[in-house]
Structures are given as C-alpha cells and as structure tokens.
Structure 1
Amino acid sequence: MNKMTAFLPALGLLATVAACGSSESESQDSETDTDANKKTATAALIALDGTEAAGSSQITVSEEETTVELTITEMNPDTDYTSHLHDSSCEADPPGGEHWLADPEAGMGEDNEIHLHLTTDDSGEATVTTSSPLEADDRVKSIVVHTDAPEGHDHAVAGDRVLCGDVAYD
C-alpha cells in the first residue's frame, strides 16, 4: 500500500506534464495555421531610366489585410513619389502594365488599389509601409514607382514610371 500511495502522485504529475505538452503542441499548430494563411512576396525594383535608382519591397497578404513595405534609394532628393501594385511584369509595355485593381470591374482609385505615397529625404532615400483592407491576389505581378502626377492627372501614363520590380511569391 505504501508503494501505491507514492505511485499515485507521480502518475498525476506525469498526466499534468503530458497535458501541458499537448496544449503547447495545439498552440503551435494554431500559430502554424495562421502563418499558413499568410502569403508573402518580395520585389527588387530597378530604374527604368538607366540611373542607379533602386528599391525593394515586401508584400504580406492575410485574410484581413495586405501590408506593403517599400524602400527606394538613389532617387531625386526631396521628391514625392507614388507606388502601386501592377498586373503585368516589368517586361510589359508599359513596364508593369496596368494598375492592379481589387475589383477589375471598378475604376482606379485608392478605394480599389493599394497606394504608397512617399517623399525622399535629402539623400534620395525613403521607406514607407502601408496596410490596406484589400486582399492582393495572384494578379499582382509587379510594383511600380511613379513620379507624382501634376494636380488633376492620374498615374496611368507610362512616362512617369521610374522604378519597377517583378513580384516573386515565397
């Protein structure tokens, strides 16, 4: 009876440790499921005008939002730029093709596109991160940086494109 009395608390401790282990495993599985629902992509942007300008971008898409981080370098100092996701590769004519639209049947605009607005510092560099409730899909093929258009004009003209990078999905 003495051995049995000593054995029961040890058995209880073993059951507690085993339960903690399975709970931790379930928690890890839950995190893995959440990560599995995220899609990431990167792009290395190159200058379209033969300059040393360049950039990089990371795109993260979840069920709730799309987050885009963009860094540009060797650009004109103290200058405003706008960037969008595009529906063709940088090899297209014009580079990047048309703007990616969340709803292809609707028109261009910030409620149907993912816009990034940035201003370079005095050394021609800038970084911006934006999150949008729009869910970027596999129609996104590139990211393009445009010079800011004069008031009343859109960014659909090919001549204002200064950087382009094809999106590579992880």
Structure 2
Amino acid sequence: MEVEIPFAEMEAEIAITLQSLRVPTKKVSVVPEASIQFISEGFGTIVSVINRADYGFVNKTVREQYPDYRYVYVSTYDSLIEKRDEIIWALMEGGFMTYIRENFHRQFQHLITDGFGNKIIRERLRRWGDKPMYKFLIEENTKAVDVPVTMVLATEPAFYDYMP
C-alpha cells in the first residue's frame, strides 16, 4: 500500500538528506506549487520534489531550463531510502565521492563503512554485467566484495570514488 508523504515534508526530507551529504545546492521552483528543485551545479545534478501527477510537465520544464544535467525525481509517494541511493548514484557520476573524500573525510568514512561501500560495488557489477570491456574492473570489484571495507580504504582510498 502506498503512503503519500505531504509535499512540504518530502521537500524538508530531501533538503536534510542533501545537507547531511554536504552537497551544496540552491533551491528553485520551475513550476510553482507543483515542484521544488535542488540544483547542485558542482555535480551537475538536479533533485526535483514533485507531485506524481505533475511529472510530465515538470520533467519537460526542468529539462528545457536545465539541459545536460542529471535528474532525480522524488514524488510524495516514493521511498526515501531508495531515493537517497538514487540521489547518491547521480551525484557520484558528477564526482561527489571524490569531493566528499577530500573535503569531509569523516563523512566519507561513515558513508562507506555504513554499508554504502558494498552498495557501490554491487551497483557497479550490476551496471557492468558480464561485458568484456569491463573485465579488469569486474575482477577488482569482485575481489573487493570479500575484503573488509576498511581494508579497501586503507590500501586504495579512491576505490569508491567513481560510478560508471
């Protein structure tokens, strides 16, 4: 059963999530009373909080006003846990993990050791599938699954920086 979260509450939750991740954003509304956009220019990502019924119009307007960004849409019916991961994936494609590792070391350590390191590896392996062009990377990530995250960080701090 779907449960709708009030729009203002979802907006606040996304703002808190982005603040806790230390992502600099500016807040705008391209479609007043139907959406709020959190724009991270540094990582080329826009997180839009929307009412599900308005998705088509909001999507078209956001893409026209902000072309060539990565877009994450969060409706008032979405799971915040799943959307948090989707937001991080989009930010990672723009260099977020390098930024947080270099500027907020404790935050980076906490994020990686709190289970996100293994999520990164699983997502990489899912995206790469069994493609020969990723053979070396697949082998490296498969080995890393069996090693404690702290050991991976100690030997190769930038291991978790990228997302294809």
Task: Please give the TM-score of this superposition, normalised by the length of structure 2.
Answer: 0.30
> TM-score, normalised on structure 1?
0.29
Q: Which has the higher helix share?
A: 2
Query: If each structure's strand is expressed as a fraction of its own residues, which one has the higher value?
Result: 1
Q: Whose relative contact order is higher, 1 or 2, with alpha carbons under 8 Å and at least 6 apart?
A: 1
